[in-house]
Amino acid sequence: MQHHHLLSIAVTESVLATTLTTRVFIPSPLESSTTTTPTVQQSPSSPEETKFSTKTPTQSPTIVDEMVHKNQEDGRNATESTNCTFDPCVHLQDTCFNTPDLTCICSGVTSTSQPPDSPTSLAVTVVTHSLVLVTWCAPNSPVTQYLLGVRYEGLLQKNLSFSSAARQVFISDLEADRTYHICLQAVNGAGSSGPECTSVWMGLNTQVFFYTLLVVCGVLMLIVATLSFCLYKQCKKATTIFISLKNKEKKRKKKGTL
Protein backbone atom coordinates (compact mmCIF):
# COMPACT_ATOMS: atom_id res chain seq x y z
CA MET A 1 0.00 0.00 0.00
CA GLN A 2 2.78 2.43 0.84
CA HIS A 3 4.51 1.43 -2.38
CA HIS A 4 1.46 2.38 -4.46
CA HIS A 5 1.15 5.72 -2.67
CA LEU A 6 4.82 6.61 -3.41
CA LEU A 7 4.37 5.69 -7.09
CA SER A 8 1.31 7.98 -7.40
CA ILE A 9 3.19 10.92 -5.87
CA ALA A 10 6.10 10.41 -8.30
CA VAL A 11 3.78 10.38 -11.34
CA THR A 12 2.01 13.54 -10.16
CA GLU A 13 5.30 15.43 -9.71
CA SER A 14 6.45 14.30 -13.17
CA VAL A 15 3.28 15.61 -14.77
CA LEU A 16 3.45 18.93 -12.90
CA ALA A 17 7.11 19.36 -13.88
CA THR A 18 6.19 19.20 -17.58
CA THR A 19 5.87 22.61 -19.27
CA LEU A 20 2.49 23.07 -20.97
CA THR A 21 2.66 25.15 -24.16
CA THR A 22 -0.44 26.52 -25.93
CA ARG A 23 -0.30 28.41 -29.22
CA VAL A 24 -3.13 30.55 -30.50
CA PHE A 25 -3.08 31.74 -34.13
CA ILE A 26 -4.96 34.97 -34.89
CA PRO A 27 -5.74 35.37 -38.63
CA SER A 28 -5.25 38.80 -40.15
CA PRO A 29 -6.20 40.35 -43.52
CA LEU A 30 -3.82 40.15 -46.50
CA GLU A 31 -3.07 43.84 -46.17
CA SER A 32 -1.46 43.33 -42.72
CA SER A 33 2.29 42.80 -42.84
CA THR A 34 2.66 41.19 -39.36
CA THR A 35 0.83 38.50 -37.41
CA THR A 36 0.96 38.37 -33.62
CA THR A 37 1.11 34.83 -32.23
CA PRO A 38 0.89 34.76 -28.44
CA THR A 39 2.59 31.78 -26.77
CA VAL A 40 1.39 30.88 -23.28
CA GLN A 41 3.73 28.86 -21.09
CA GLN A 42 2.67 27.66 -17.67
CA SER A 43 4.71 25.89 -15.02
CA PRO A 44 3.93 24.74 -11.49
CA SER A 45 5.95 27.62 -10.01
CA SER A 46 4.25 30.50 -11.94
CA PRO A 47 0.83 29.60 -13.42
CA GLU A 48 0.08 33.22 -14.56
CA GLU A 49 3.33 33.79 -16.46
CA THR A 50 2.66 34.50 -20.12
CA LYS A 51 5.12 35.14 -22.94
CA PHE A 52 4.23 36.69 -26.36
CA SER A 53 6.22 36.17 -29.51
CA THR A 54 5.73 38.11 -32.78
CA LYS A 55 6.26 36.42 -36.15
CA THR A 56 6.33 38.22 -39.51
CA PRO A 57 5.14 35.96 -42.36
CA THR A 58 6.84 36.43 -45.67
CA GLN A 59 4.86 36.90 -48.93
CA SER A 60 6.19 36.57 -52.45
CA PRO A 61 6.59 39.98 -54.22
CA THR A 62 5.35 38.36 -57.45
CA ILE A 63 2.02 37.44 -55.86
CA VAL A 64 1.57 40.96 -54.51
CA ASP A 65 2.30 42.51 -57.93
CA GLU A 66 -0.19 40.19 -59.61
CA MET A 67 -2.85 41.12 -57.06
CA VAL A 68 -2.27 44.85 -57.58
CA HIS A 69 -2.30 44.45 -61.38
CA LYS A 70 -5.54 42.48 -61.23
CA ASN A 71 -7.19 45.10 -59.03
CA GLN A 72 -6.13 47.83 -61.46
CA GLU A 73 -7.57 45.87 -64.41
CA ASP A 74 -10.82 45.26 -62.55
CA GLY A 75 -11.14 48.96 -61.81
CA ARG A 76 -10.36 49.90 -65.41
CA ASN A 77 -12.87 47.38 -66.80
CA ALA A 78 -15.54 48.62 -64.43
CA THR A 79 -14.96 52.17 -65.64
CA GLU A 80 -14.93 51.23 -69.34
CA SER A 81 -18.15 49.21 -69.11
CA THR A 82 -20.13 51.89 -67.32
CA ASN A 83 -22.09 53.30 -70.29
CA CYS A 84 -23.20 51.56 -73.48
CA THR A 85 -21.94 53.07 -76.76
CA PHE A 86 -24.76 52.10 -79.14
CA ASP A 87 -25.48 54.43 -82.09
CA PRO A 88 -29.28 54.85 -82.22
CA CYS A 89 -29.18 55.80 -85.93
CA VAL A 90 -27.33 52.72 -87.32
CA HIS A 91 -29.55 50.45 -89.41
CA LEU A 92 -30.02 46.84 -88.20
CA GLN A 93 -28.33 47.55 -84.85
CA ASP A 94 -30.63 46.78 -81.94
CA THR A 95 -30.62 49.18 -79.01
CA CYS A 96 -28.95 48.20 -75.77
CA PHE A 97 -32.37 47.75 -74.16
CA ASN A 98 -33.14 44.87 -76.53
CA THR A 99 -29.68 43.24 -76.46
CA PRO A 100 -29.18 40.32 -74.00
CA ASP A 101 -26.07 39.67 -71.88
CA LEU A 102 -24.98 43.29 -71.62
CA THR A 103 -21.87 44.29 -69.67
CA CYS A 104 -22.67 48.02 -69.87
CA ILE A 105 -25.32 50.34 -68.49
CA CYS A 106 -28.06 51.93 -70.62
CA SER A 107 -28.29 55.45 -69.23
CA GLY A 108 -31.49 57.50 -69.30
CA VAL A 109 -33.75 54.56 -70.08
CA THR A 110 -37.50 54.91 -69.74
CA SER A 111 -39.28 52.10 -67.97
CA THR A 112 -40.72 49.14 -69.87
CA SER A 113 -43.99 49.84 -68.08
CA GLN A 114 -44.26 53.16 -69.95
CA PRO A 115 -44.84 53.82 -73.68
CA PRO A 116 -41.60 54.65 -75.53
CA ASP A 117 -40.48 58.10 -76.61
CA SER A 118 -40.98 59.13 -80.23
CA PRO A 119 -38.31 58.31 -82.85
CA THR A 120 -36.01 61.19 -83.74
CA SER A 121 -34.35 62.64 -86.86
CA LEU A 122 -37.05 61.41 -89.25
CA ALA A 123 -36.04 62.23 -92.85
CA VAL A 124 -37.34 61.33 -96.32
CA THR A 125 -35.16 61.26 -99.46
CA VAL A 126 -36.74 61.05 -102.94
CA VAL A 127 -34.99 58.36 -105.01
CA THR A 128 -37.29 58.35 -108.06
CA HIS A 129 -40.74 59.75 -108.87
CA SER A 130 -42.27 56.65 -107.17
CA LEU A 131 -39.64 55.62 -104.57
CA VAL A 132 -38.46 57.28 -101.32
CA LEU A 133 -36.01 56.35 -98.54
CA VAL A 134 -37.18 56.97 -94.95
CA THR A 135 -34.54 57.12 -92.16
CA TRP A 136 -34.78 57.75 -88.40
CA CYS A 137 -33.01 57.30 -85.04
CA ALA A 138 -34.23 55.11 -82.18
CA PRO A 139 -35.57 56.74 -79.00
CA ASN A 140 -33.95 56.27 -75.60
CA SER A 141 -36.59 53.69 -74.71
CA PRO A 142 -37.26 49.96 -75.00
CA VAL A 143 -38.86 49.32 -78.44
CA THR A 144 -40.38 46.14 -79.87
CA GLN A 145 -41.38 47.46 -83.33
CA TYR A 146 -42.02 50.57 -85.44
CA LEU A 147 -45.24 51.52 -87.23
CA LEU A 148 -45.15 53.71 -90.36
CA GLY A 149 -48.15 55.30 -92.07
CA VAL A 150 -48.28 57.05 -95.47
CA ARG A 151 -51.18 59.42 -96.17
CA TYR A 152 -52.25 61.44 -99.21
CA GLU A 153 -54.85 64.17 -98.73
CA GLY A 154 -55.80 62.64 -95.36
CA LEU A 155 -56.37 59.15 -96.74
CA LEU A 156 -54.18 56.28 -95.52
CA GLN A 157 -52.24 54.83 -98.46
CA LYS A 158 -49.82 52.47 -96.67
CA ASN A 159 -49.53 51.03 -93.14
CA LEU A 160 -46.22 49.22 -92.50
CA SER A 161 -44.42 47.69 -89.47
CA PHE A 162 -40.70 47.01 -88.88
CA SER A 163 -38.50 45.35 -86.25
CA SER A 164 -36.84 47.29 -83.43
CA ALA A 165 -33.46 47.05 -85.23
CA ALA A 166 -34.68 48.90 -88.35
CA ARG A 167 -33.52 52.49 -88.95
CA GLN A 168 -34.48 52.91 -92.62
CA VAL A 169 -36.98 51.62 -95.18
CA PHE A 170 -37.73 52.11 -98.88
CA ILE A 171 -41.33 52.96 -99.83
CA SER A 172 -42.31 52.28 -103.44
CA ASP A 173 -45.36 52.55 -105.72
CA LEU A 174 -45.95 56.23 -104.99
CA GLU A 175 -47.52 58.65 -107.48
CA ALA A 176 -45.58 61.43 -109.17
CA ASP A 177 -46.48 65.09 -108.56
CA ARG A 178 -48.08 64.30 -105.17
CA THR A 179 -47.32 65.41 -101.60
CA TYR A 180 -47.36 62.55 -99.07
CA HIS A 181 -47.55 62.81 -95.26
CA ILE A 182 -45.36 60.16 -93.54
CA CYS A 183 -45.60 59.39 -89.78
CA LEU A 184 -43.54 56.96 -87.65
CA GLN A 185 -44.30 55.56 -84.16
CA ALA A 186 -42.30 53.43 -81.71
CA VAL A 187 -44.13 50.59 -79.94
CA ASN A 188 -43.46 48.41 -76.87
CA GLY A 189 -45.52 46.29 -74.49
CA ALA A 190 -46.88 49.36 -72.67
CA GLY A 191 -48.15 51.19 -75.76
CA SER A 192 -47.01 53.42 -78.62
CA SER A 193 -45.25 56.77 -78.77
CA GLY A 194 -46.54 59.96 -80.30
CA PRO A 195 -46.09 60.12 -84.09
CA GLU A 196 -43.02 61.73 -85.66
CA CYS A 197 -44.15 63.12 -89.04
CA THR A 198 -42.81 64.79 -92.17
CA SER A 199 -44.02 65.55 -95.71
CA VAL A 200 -42.47 64.91 -99.13
CA TRP A 201 -43.37 66.02 -102.66
CA MET A 202 -42.68 63.36 -105.25
CA GLY A 203 -42.04 65.77 -108.13
CA LEU A 204 -42.64 65.14 -111.81
CA ASN A 205 -42.05 61.90 -113.63
CA THR A 206 -38.80 62.76 -115.40
CA GLN A 207 -38.92 59.62 -117.53
CA VAL A 208 -42.32 60.50 -118.99
CA PHE A 209 -41.13 64.07 -119.57
CA PHE A 210 -38.00 62.80 -121.30
CA TYR A 211 -39.90 60.42 -123.58
CA THR A 212 -42.50 63.09 -124.36
CA LEU A 213 -39.72 65.48 -125.31
CA LEU A 214 -38.21 62.85 -127.59
CA VAL A 215 -41.55 62.29 -129.33
CA VAL A 216 -42.08 66.03 -129.83
CA CYS A 217 -38.58 66.43 -131.23
CA GLY A 218 -39.17 63.51 -133.58
CA VAL A 219 -42.43 64.98 -134.86
CA LEU A 220 -40.81 68.38 -135.39
CA MET A 221 -37.95 66.80 -137.31
CA LEU A 222 -40.45 64.89 -139.47
CA ILE A 223 -42.36 68.09 -140.24
CA VAL A 224 -39.19 69.93 -141.15
CA ALA A 225 -38.10 67.07 -143.40
CA THR A 226 -41.50 66.98 -145.13
CA LEU A 227 -41.52 70.72 -145.71
CA SER A 228 -38.00 70.60 -147.02
CA PHE A 229 -38.92 67.84 -149.45
CA CYS A 230 -42.02 69.72 -150.64
CA LEU A 231 -40.07 72.90 -151.14
CA TYR A 232 -37.45 70.98 -153.04
CA LYS A 233 -40.09 69.41 -155.29
CA GLN A 234 -41.77 72.76 -155.80
CA CYS A 235 -38.54 74.49 -156.68
CA LYS A 236 -37.57 71.72 -159.08
CA LYS A 237 -40.95 71.91 -160.82
CA ALA A 238 -40.73 75.69 -161.15
CA THR A 239 -37.26 75.42 -162.65
CA THR A 240 -38.49 72.86 -165.19
CA ILE A 241 -41.38 75.11 -166.25
CA PHE A 242 -39.07 78.08 -166.60
CA ILE A 243 -36.66 76.13 -168.83
CA SER A 244 -39.56 74.84 -170.94
CA LEU A 245 -40.86 78.37 -171.54
CA LYS A 246 -37.43 79.52 -172.61
CA ASN A 247 -37.13 76.72 -175.13
CA LYS A 248 -40.54 77.50 -176.64
CA GLU A 249 -39.60 81.14 -177.02
CA LYS A 250 -36.39 80.25 -178.81
CA LYS A 251 -38.24 78.01 -181.26
CA ARG A 252 -40.73 80.76 -182.01
CA LYS A 253 -37.95 83.20 -182.80
CA LYS A 254 -36.31 80.73 -185.15
CA LYS A 255 -39.55 80.24 -187.08
CA GLY A 256 -40.02 83.98 -187.44
CA THR A 257 -36.56 84.40 -188.88
CA LEU A 258 -37.15 81.77 -191.51
Residues 166, 144 contacting (CB under 8 angstroms): no
Q: Is 186 exposed, middle or buried (0-12, 13-18, 19+ CB in 10 A)?
A: buried
| Average pLDDT score, the chain | 73
Residues 139, 193 contacting (CB under 8 angstroms): yes
> What tens digit of pLDDT does each residue of 166-219 get?
999 999 999 999 999 999 999 999 999 999 999 999 988 777 667 788 888 888
> What tens digit of pLDDT does each residue of 8-26 get?
554 455 544 444 444 444 4
Helix (H, G, I), strand (E, B) or coil at 30: coil
The architecture (CATH level 2) of 96-205 comes to Sandwich (2.60)
Domain extent listing, the chain: 2-27+35-53, 96-205
**Bridge partner residues of 191 (DSSP):** 188
Helix (H, G, I), strand (E, B) or coil at 91: coil
The angle at the Cα of 45, spanning 43 to 50, to the nearest 5 degrees, equals 50
> What tens digit of pLDDT does each residue of 79-116 get?
455 677 778 899 988 777 666 666 777 776 777 889 99
Q: Is 184 exposed, middle or buried (0-12, 13-18, 19+ CB in 10 A)?
A: buried
Helices H / strands E in the chain, number of each = 3, 11
DSSP state of 160: E
